[in-house]
Amino acid sequence: MKKAEKIQFILDTLDGLYPQAECALHYTHPYELLIATRLSAQCTDERVNKVTPALFEKYPTLEAFASADFDELCEMVHSCGFFRGKAKSIIEMSQTILEKFNGQVPDNIEDLTSLSGIGRKTANLICGDIYGKPAIIADTHCIRLSNRLGLTTSKNPEIVERQLKAIIPPERQTKLCHNLVHHGRAVCDARKPNCGECPLKDVCVYFKHL
Ligand code: SF4
């Protein structure tokens, strides 16, 4: 199978397996996705989704987050781990969005990564899910699966992002990343991938070398 055919096969197979795949974090407003994603660092989406309903109720606007009491916010996000750093950046990013971006979550990587605590992974998630722009969200699942499948050759998120951007059609990039998260959780586990049940095994480099 030629490389272009292999890529097409992977994209179509994953779309068929996970037609509804999307970000697992719950949110209503764009800034809420930004905050939920900040909380999800070194934490599970499940845990974040347990914390955010009360959090978004207590702080119903960006202004409320910008003027939040640091200690109170720490207490609310405590169970997500690294709570001091997360609370600090949530307050700072909210202030910056209000002061520098007229209360609108930025729609480009450069401005997003200028916010406190926001890296390229989160910036791409916002660009893809909020603004519908082509985006490669190089999280742990994306990096592991794209390497195993032979689509990428690095564990470095920025290189993975660049390599995938070069070979995946723009309109399919964001959905591919959500599909990879779902496939990573359901089949291609970090320690014990269930290759025998995987519809991608015929094109998978990792499986070929088992
Ligand atoms: S064949 Fe195995 S390693 Fe390859 S994508 Fe499927 S589960 Fe992952």
**pLDDT at res. 172:** 98
194 lines ligand 1 (CB under 6 A): yes
pLDDT for the residue 85: 98
- Which ligand 1 atom is at minimum distance from the Cα of 201? 1
Question: Greatest CA span in the chain, whole angstroms?
Answer: 58
As annotated, the residues of the chain forming the CATH 1.10.1670.10 domain(s) are 3-22+135-208
Measuring CA to CA, which residue among 66, 67, 33 is closest to residue 52?
33
- The pLDDT value given to residue 121: 96
> Would you call 100 a catalytic residue per the annotation?
no
The topology under which CATH files domain 30-130 is Endonuclease III; domain 1 (1.10.340)
The rounded percent of the chain whose pLDDT value lies above 90 is: 99
* Cα 53 to the center of its chain, rounded Å: 20
DSSP for 146-172?
Answer: HHHTTS---S-HHHHHHHHHHHS-GGG
- The 3-state DSSP class for residue 112 equals helix
CB of 141 within 6 A of ligand 1: the answer is no
Distance of alpha carbon 128 from its chain centroid, rounded?
A: 10
- Ligand 1 pocket test, pick from 192, 195, 208, 209 with the greatest ligand atom count within 8 Å of Cβ, gives 195
**CA 182, CA 78: separation in Å to the nearest integer?**
27
Nearest to 58 by CA among 47, 43, 74, 42: 74
Average pLDDT, the chain: 97
Asked whether the predicted pLDDT for residue 73 surpasses 90, the reply is yes
pLDDT tens readout for residues 119-143: 999 999 999 999 999 999 999 999 9
Ligand 1 center to 18 CA (angstroms)? 16
Task: Note if 121 is an active site residue.
Answer: yes
How far the first Cα of the chain sits from its last, in Å, is 20
Domain limits, CATH 1.10.340.30, in the chain: 30-130
Write the class of the CATH domain 3-22+135-208.
Answer: mainly alpha
Percent of the chain with pLDDT over 70: 100
Nearest residue CA, atom 2 of ligand 1? 195
